[in-house]
Amino acid sequence: MVAFGDSLTDGNGATPGANTRWPDALAERLAGRDVAVLNAGISGGRLLKDGMGRAGLERAGRDVFAQPGVRAMVVLLGTNDIGWPGGPFAPSEPAVRAEEMIQGFRQLIEMARAHHVRIMAGTIAPTERALEGTPLEGHYSPDKDKVRQAVNRWIRESGAFDAVVDFDALLRDPARPSRLKAAMDSGDHLHPGDAGYKAMAAAIDLEALLGTSP
């Protein structure tokens, strides 16, 4: 299976060299089923437009569907599509609309169907205070968070994906749902730490991911 995402899949915030990213922890869970995990997370990756690398919709053909033996994928994209416009990474870009994100995910679903690959979606984690106090802050605003919540609602409720893993519900602070839970936060308020990544991997229903019976 392929983990297809941005820096939260690439593993920013995890202990370097310790194999504690969520795809690493998922690989441990899947090892007994003879299923390998390919980490196709690119820091700064986006679904709709190029970021630090090609747009997800463009690179999916190479990074997911052209991989030998691929059977399933988990997509976790959207943080940078929503967070970058108007901030230091994309100051002149207009805000992305939830409808644009949804249409992009529908295209990715169509690609997965055409290649007979099961597709599980992860909801988008909260970003309030992301990179606060650094030159790179700007991922969050109340309006951006409304877009994130609208996209997450569609991911959860539309039935468009083969399966869903609710990373947002797992990682958010119940007292302040627009922020990461302190125990899950790497400290930059954007990326989970080791505990958060381990919890993300544990939250994935393996039967739902692979389309098998328990």
Specify whether the CB–CB gap between 191 and 13 falls below 8 A: yes
Q: What is the pLDDT of residue 213?
A: 76
Rounded Cα distance, 23 and 109, in Å: 21
Neighbours of 181 (CB within 10 A): 20
**Whether the model pTM is above 0.75:** yes
104: which 2 tokens? 């992009």
For tokens 């039935």, what's the residue?
159
Q: What is the pLDDT of residue 32?
A: 93
Q: What is the pLDDT of residue 157?
A: 98
Task: List all residues 6 or more positions away from 128 whose beta carbon is below 8 Å from its beta carbon.
Answer: 140, 145, 176, 178, 179, 189
For tokens 């869970």, what's the residue?
29
Specify whether the CB–CB gap between 92 and 138 falls below 8 A: no
State the alpha helices, DSSP H only, in the chain. Answer: 7-10, 22-30, 56-60, 79-83, 98-114, 142-157, 167-171, 194-203, 206-210
Rounded Cα distance, 84 and 141, in Å: 11
Helix axes 22-30, 194-203, angle to 10 degrees: 40
Q: What is the pLDDT of residue 26?
A: 98
Q: What is the pLDDT of residue 68?
A: 95
Summarised one tens digit per residue, pLDDT across range 26-72 is 999 999 999 999 999 999 999 999 989 999 999 999 999 999 999 99
Specify whether the CB–CB gap between 83 and 126 falls below 8 A: no
User: In order of start, what are the domains of the chain with their CATH numbers?
Assistant: 2-210 (3.40.50.1110)
89: which 2 tokens? 């990474």
Ramachandran region, residue 187 (left: φ > 0; alpha: ψ -120 to 50; beta: rest)? left
Residues of the chain with pLDDT under 50: none
